[in-house]
């Protein structure tokens, strides 16, 4: 099977290479290829065409290989040849009174005149179309007269009718309102016989009431008069659309359609009302709850806990294409963690819109900036996306520094030495000292340890009644015992920090609390 290792790539190269190669470019009638020939034509190669003298090139002169096909080929269109004998047989002259053979390039126009005693019964200007040109007809003015004018259905002549018309004379026709003329508007008396008369084609007739029943709107150019019937001349077009709240039954994507009068019976399309049925939403519900809804009706999508709307949009609208967006509840997606001091491994913040949100089951690894730790107190923490969000929640907590001991005391801990916000730690005081607070415990907060662990002497302290600036103690004695309370008064023009003339303080192990002060008003 080792040979497959070499054969398969060769076959693939041959297959793919052949798709970029074109066959030899074909020639064209009345023309030739003037660019250099090649043994093989690759994708992007071009060849140039040129027509023989007198022939006109239609289409691009260059063809390009778009492997394995060539771009469309041009054509060489033939000129028209008008011979002297043809002009004589038709009693025609060229513009300027000349009668000689002439070659007319494709798409060019030539003007003809009748010789004296004859009149043109058809247009005098004729165009050459790929070697073919119809010559106009001349009618003799010396032929037999015609009696009376010809008649047409749904039309009439533009002038008063005469009893007799000389050969070469003509009558002009016009059709009744809304009828369309087919053929030349003039008929000539040709040696006692009238040439072919035009035909007045019937218009297409539509009842606006019937159009209204089909829930169709039509764009009309009205002069202000109320119209009951629509007359559309043959060949003309009119634009229809379904009424608001309706859509074409055969093509929901098409909002406007056109009708052209071609003489066939009118078949109006069906416009049906836009209706949306009540959507069944797994892991959620919609409101208001109805059996069916009309165009532009909006519903509110309410998902169960752990789920969210698929397109992050809590509303959906009834449209001709159904509910947009489709009401659907999917497992909640997890966004890029927005907490402070978080670093997400492999997903830089500037690319978060590209990678996030994540689906249920996806995971990320996070770490914290210096001075912070995740809940597991490790360098990295892995979080998994669940219906309720990230678990555990990516979050960084302030880390509290600690030492083995502090003045007159020590922390008490076992084997783990990392402390983050919310952690409590106990401490003990040396012999002869006791905690300043009632309990020998402190907590790690964003601002560090609170309360600050402190051990004070176990000797029974007292507070001295030193002279109070701008005030005086009410009790006249030199010292106060632990926990003893006393009052003090401020002199005129001074108050306590709370704005009172008198205040109260207590003797604690750390001194007076609150500190007795008298400040200026």
Asked whether the CA dihedral 463, 465, 468, 474 is positive or negative, the reply is: positive
Asked whether the CA dihedral 276, 277, 279, 285 is positive or negative, the reply is: positive
| 3-class secondary-structure state, position 12 | helix
- In angstroms, the Cα distances linking 278 to 83, 275, 290, 298, 305 are 79, 10, 6, 12, 22
Q: What pLDDT does 99 receive?
A: 87
pLDDT digits (tens, 9 = 90+) for 304-328: 887 888 877 899 999 988 999 999 9
Query: 239 and 183: one domain?
Result: no
Is the pLDDT reported for residue 226 higher than 70?
no
Query: 238 and 262: one domain?
Result: yes
Q: Does residue 260 belong to any structural domain of this protein?
A: yes
- In angstroms, the Cα distances linking 313 to 284, 288, 299 are 14, 16, 11
| 3-class secondary-structure state, position 505 | strand
Is the pLDDT reported for residue 333 higher than 90?
no
d(CA 451, CA 350): 40
Q: Does residue 88 belong to any structural domain of this protein?
A: yes
pLDDT digits (tens, 9 = 90+) for 477-499: 888 877 889 999 999 999 998 99
Phi, psi torsion values for 331, nearest 5 degrees = -55, 140
d(CA 347, CA 291): 46
Query: 24 and 73: one domain?
Result: yes
**Contact 366/347 with Cβ under 8 angstroms?**
no
d(CA 233, CA 222): 16
Tokens of 415: 């084997």
Query: 167 and 225: one domain?
Result: no
Listed in sequence order, the DSSP H helices in 246-381 are 352-355
Is the pLDDT reported for residue 503 higher than 90?
yes
Residue 415's pLDDT band (boundaries 50, 70, 90)?
Answer: low
Distance of CA 168 to the CA centre of its chain: 67
Q: What pLDDT does 222 receive?
A: 58
Q: Does residue 337 belong to any structural domain of this protein?
A: no
Q: What is the DSSP letter of 324?
A: E
Average pLDDT, the chain: 87
One-character DSSP codes across 75-105: EEEPPEEE-HHHHHHTTEEETTS----EEE-
Compute how many other C-beta atoms are within 10 angstroms of the C-beta atom of residue 318.
Answer: 22
Query: 60 and 107: one domain?
Result: no
- In angstroms, the Cα distances linking 186 to 169, 171, 189, 275, 517 are 10, 6, 10, 56, 123
Mean pLDDT of 184-212: 92
User: CA torsion 51→57→60→62, rounded to 10°?
Assistant: 10
Show the domain range for 453: 405-457
Q: What pLDDT does 17 receive?
A: 53
Closest CA to 151 of 121, 118, 174: 174
Residue 250's pLDDT band (boundaries 50, 70, 90)?
Answer: confident
Q: Tell me the CATH number at 36.
A: 2.10.70.10
Domain limit, last residue, from 257, 273, 289:
273
**Chain position carrying tokens 């662990």:** 453
Q: What pLDDT does 9 receive?
A: 42
Tokens of 296: 């532009």
Q: Does residue 263 belong to any structural domain of this protein?
A: yes
d(CA 47, CA 152): 57
Domain limit, last residue, from 398, 414, 442:
398
Q: Which are the contacts of 43, defined by CB distance < 8 A and separation ≥ 6? A: 20, 21, 22, 65, 66, 67
d(CA 414, CA 380): 23
- In total, how many domains does the chain have? 8
One-character DSSP codes across 110-153: EEEEEPTTEEESS-SEEE-BTTB-PPP-EEETTS--EES----T
- Which residues face 342 on adjacent strands? 368
Closest CA to 55 of 100, 94, 103, 101: 103
Please give the model's pTM, rounded to 2 decimal places: 0.49
Query: 266 and 219: one domain?
Result: yes
Is the pLDDT reported for residue 5 higher than 60?
no
Of 50 and 413, the one with more pLDDT: 50
Q: What pLDDT does 394 receive?
A: 92
Query: 430 and 376: one domain?
Result: no
Q: Which helix (H) or strand (E) holds 201?
A: strand 199-201
Q: Which of 47-61, 358-372, 479-493 has the highest mean pLDDT?
A: 47-61
Query: 265 and 222: one domain?
Result: yes
d(CA 152, CA 179): 12
**Contact 410/427 with Cβ under 8 angstroms?**
yes
- In angstroms, the Cα distances linking 260 to 234, 266, 362, 395 are 8, 10, 59, 70
**Contact 332/308 with Cβ under 8 angstroms?**
yes
Residue 10's pLDDT band (boundaries 50, 70, 90)?
Answer: very low
Which letter, b or e, does each residue of 418-442 get, where b requires 16 or more Cβ atoms within 10 Å of its Cβ?
ebbbebebebebeeebbbbeeebeb
Q: Does residue 186 belong to any structural domain of this protein?
A: yes
Closest CA to 312 of 280, 278, 343, 335: 335
Q: What pLDDT does 15 receive?
A: 43
Asked whether the CA dihedral 339, 343, 345, 346 is positive or negative, the reply is: positive
| 3-class secondary-structure state, position 178 | coil
Angle in degrees, CA 130, 133, 134, rounded to 5: 150
Of 341 and 479, the one with more pLDDT: 341
- Lowest mean pLDDT across 141-145, 184-188, 405-409, 493-497: 405-409
d(CA 469, CA 1): 107
Q: Does residue 257 belong to any structural domain of this protein?
A: yes
Q: Which helix (H) or strand (E) holds 212?
A: helix 208-213
Is the pLDDT reported for residue 152 higher than 90?
yes
Compute how many other C-beta atoms are within 10 angstroms of the C-beta atom of residue 480.
Answer: 19
Residue 109's pLDDT band (boundaries 50, 70, 90)?
Answer: very high
Is the pLDDT reported for residue 23 higher than 60?
yes
- Lowest mean pLDDT across 243-257, 309-323, 367-381: 243-257
Query: 134 and 91: one domain?
Result: yes
Q: What pLDDT does 288 receive?
A: 94
Q: Does residue 336 belong to any structural domain of this protein?
A: no
Domain limit, last residue, from 95, 118, 140:
140
- Lowest mean pLDDT across 112-116, 187-191, 415-419, 469-473: 415-419
Q: Does residue 90 belong to any structural domain of this protein?
A: yes
**Contact 217/208 with Cβ under 8 angstroms?**
no
């Amino acid at each position: 099977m080792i040979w497959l290792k070499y054969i398969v790539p060769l076959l693939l190269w041959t297959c793919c290479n052949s798709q970029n190669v074109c066959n030899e470019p074909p020639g064209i009638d009345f023309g030739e290829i003037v660019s250099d020939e090649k043994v093989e034509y690759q994708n992007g190669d071009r060849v140039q065409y040129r027509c023989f003298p007198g022939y006109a090139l239609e289409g691009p002169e260059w063809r390009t290989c778009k492997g394995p096909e060539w771009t469309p080929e041009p054509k060489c269109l033939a000129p028209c040849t008008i011979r002297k004998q043809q002009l004589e047989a038709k009693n025609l002259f060229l513009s300027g009174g000349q009668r000689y053979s002439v070659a007319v390039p494709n798409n060019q126009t030539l003007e003809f005149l009748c010789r004296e005693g004859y009149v043109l019964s058809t247009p005098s200007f004729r165009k050459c179309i790929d070697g073919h040109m119809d010559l106009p007809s001349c009618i003799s003015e010396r032929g037999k007269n015609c009696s009376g004018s010809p008649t047409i259905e749904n039309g009439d002549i533009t002038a008063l009718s005469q009893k007799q018309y000389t050969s070469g004379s003509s009558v002009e026709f016009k059709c009744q309102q809304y009828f369309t003329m087919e053929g030349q508007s003039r008929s000539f008396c040709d040696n006692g016989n009238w040439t072919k008369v035009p035909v007045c084609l019937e218009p297409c007739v539509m009842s606006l009431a019937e159009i209204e029943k089909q829930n169709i709107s039509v764009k009309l150019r009205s002069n202000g008069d109320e119209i009951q019937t629509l007359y559309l001349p043959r060949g003309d077009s009119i634009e229809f659309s379904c009424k608001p709240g309706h859509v074409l039954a055969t093509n929901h994507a098409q909002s406007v359609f056109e009708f052209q009068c071609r003489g066939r019976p009118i078949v109006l399309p069906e416009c049906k009302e836009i209706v949306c049925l009540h959507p069944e939403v797994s892991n959620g519900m919609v409101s208001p709850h109805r059996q069916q809804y009309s165009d532009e009706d909006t519903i509110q999508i309410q998902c169960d806990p752990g789920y969210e709307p698929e397109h992050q949009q809590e509303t959906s609208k009834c449209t001709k294409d159904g509910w947009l967006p489709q009401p659907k509840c999917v497992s909640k997606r997890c966004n890029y963690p927005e907490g402070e001091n978080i670093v997400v491994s492999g997903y830089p913040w500037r690319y978060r819109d590209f990678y996030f949100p994540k689906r249920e089951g996806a995971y990320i690894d996070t770490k914290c900036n210096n001075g912070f730790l995740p809940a597991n107190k490790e360098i990295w923490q892995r979080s998994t996306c669940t219906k309720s969000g990230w678990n555990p929640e990516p979050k960084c907590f302030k880390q509290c520094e600690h030492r083995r001991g502090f003045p007159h005391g020590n922390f008490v801990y076992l084997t783990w030495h990392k402390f983050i916000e919310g952690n409590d730690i106990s401490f003990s005081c040396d012999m002869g000292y006791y905690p300043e607070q009632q309990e020998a415990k402190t907590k790690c907060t964003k601002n560090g340890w609170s309360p600050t662990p402190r051990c004070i002497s176990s000797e029974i302290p007292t507070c001295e009644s030193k002279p109070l600036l701008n005030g005086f103690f009410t009790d006249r004695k030199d010292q106060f015992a632990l926990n003893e309370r006393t009052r003090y008064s401020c002199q005129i023009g001074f108050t306590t920090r709370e704005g009172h003339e008198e205040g109260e303080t207590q003797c604690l192990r750390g001194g007076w609390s609150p500190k007795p002060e008298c400040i200026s008003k």
